[in-house]
Amino acid sequence: MLNFQPGETVRVRSEEEIAETLDENGKNGGLWFMPEMRRYFGQQFKVYKRVEKIIMETTGEYRRMKNTVLLEGVICDGSEHHGCDRSCFHYWREVWLERVE
């Protein structure tokens, strides 16, 4: 656990490094690495906030999240999801990021 905090600068790891963390379904601990996230490889961002829990829209159930953050200004453009225009934050596993000193 890297325990990134809001305001810290991080770099998105390379495609190869992230691929090593994904299972056969393209997930890490049940969380998808979304196709729209590919364009951020190697870029730097500030951590916006940690994600500790979410509400599943389909069921209304709470789910706890571990080692997950949101990045400032990194919003899904829906380009790989039939032009979805919801502008959701991407969820980033800490293992997909590296700290920038």
Looking at residue 32, its pLDDT comes to 92
- Which residues have C-beta within 8 Å of that of residue 62, sequence separation ≥ 6? 53, 54, 55, 56
- pLDDT digit of tens for each residue in the chain (101 aa)? 799 999 999 999 999 999 999 999 999 999 999 999 999 999 999 999 999 999 988 899 999 999 999 999 998 877 766 677 767 889 999 999 999 98
CA 19 from centre of chain: 14
pLDDT at 93: 98
Q: What is the pTM of this model?
A: 0.89
| Cα three-residue angle 56-19-6, rounded to 5 degrees | 55
